Amino acid sequence: MIFAMSTGSESINMFDAITGHSEKAHAILFSARLPRVLLAALVGMALATSGGAFQALLRNPLADPFILGVSGGAALGSVLAVGFRLHFIWISLLAFVGATIAMLCIFWIAKGRGRFRSTELLLTGVIFNAFCFALILFINAMVTMEEAYQILFLLIGNLEETGLGMVGIVAFFVLTGFTILTLLARRMNLLLLSDNEAKSLGINIDKLRIIVFCSASLMVGAAVAASGLIGFVGLFIPHIVRLIFGADHRILIPASGLLGAAFLILADTGARTVLMNTQYATQLPVGVITALIGAPLFMILLKRRNIM
């Protein structure tokens, strides 16, 4: 975080910025970089932690926060706000509302006949995502070029427009979900067993799945509402943690959160600096950086470890 806050198109001295000896450095730090770095940490924590939780929930190493449909609802809410030319605050609000509605709908459909099955949850999420993205493409065809460009940034993921107020709201939801999943980490180890084995140990497996799914979805909804769709963080970060620390969720969940936060901070630092001092003088969406790093790295893990 210290490295990210001092690095940018113009490097600043952190001591001068904090003490106010340099008004310019003070303004850059507290008005621009601090909110963005904090948001990157929260979003990275949310995506990586929820990724580890969903992989345990579905007993599937390729499970991802976005494959379960919550991101589709959040993205649809954001795009609707852009289509109606609403303020940025409304874009984030509708994204969170869309994520909440998606979470409730997916849960209601997947629960089926009074039971909560992982297979139904996965299939429902995939279908719901496809439906939401079809609606997004439909809306994208009817907006102006400027709005279409804004929608593209939402779908790729970026951390440009933010403030400490937005960071505070995101922090409340992300830290709430993170705390719940950390407290449930010991029981989440039982999700890797069969349902009968877990029940024989006195665990209400359906109730545990509901709490894990809702907590992880809460984090994903808040993250997408603030930053758009940032891929691969929730997919490969938990695998890296497993290679280092093993599969015990008591370590996996908090370690994934911390590593995810650090990774997205560094990825966003690269996104806002790599082209800033070139002839293009622009910032990349952070989702581009995470995809360029995450996709090859995950394929390497897939090849070497045979995680399928």
List the pLDDT tens digit at each of the 308 positions of the chain: 999 999 887 888 888 888 878 888 888 888 889 999 999 999 999 999 999 998 888 777 777 877 777 888 888 888 888 888 877 677 777 887 888 888 788 878 776 655 666 677 778 888 888 899 899 999 988 888 888 887 887 888 888 767 788 899 889 999 999 999 999 999 898 887 777 777 777 778 888 888 998 888 888 888 888 888 898 899 889 989 988 998 899 999 999 999 999 999 999 999 988 887 777 777 888 988 998 998 888 788 777 655 54
Q: What is the rounded CA–CA span in Å between residue 202 and residue 146? A: 56
At the fourth CATH level, the homologous superfamily of domain 2-305 is ABC transporter involved in vitamin B12 uptake, BtuC (1.10.3470.10)
pLDDT at 44: 96
pLDDT at 308: 44
- Tokens 């790599």 appear where? 274
pLDDT at 107: 75
pLDDT at 43: 95
In the chain, where the domains are located: 2-305
pLDDT at 252: 95
pTM comes to 0.86
pLDDT at 24: 85
Q: What is the rounded CA–CA span in Å between residue 36 and residue 163? A: 8
pLDDT at 159: 86
Q: What is the rounded CA–CA span in Å between residue 102 and residue 107? A: 8
Q: What is the rounded CA–CA span in Å between residue 98 and residue 303? A: 36
For every residue of the chain, DSSP letters joined together read -HHHHH-SSS---HHHHHHTSSHHHHHIIIIIIHHHHHHHHHHHHHHHHHHHHHHHHHT-TT--TTTTSHHHHHHHHHHHHHHTT--HHHHHHHHHHHHHHHHHHHHHHHHTTT---HHHHHHHHHHHHHHHHHHHHHHHTTS-HHHHHHHHHHHH----S--HHHHHHHHHHHHHHHHHHHHTHHHHGGGGS-HHHHHHTT--HHHHHHHHHHHHHHHHHHHHHHH----SHHHHHHHHHHHHH-S-HHHHHHHHHHHHHHHHHHHHHHHHHTTTTSSS-----HHHHHHHHHHHHHHHHHHHH---
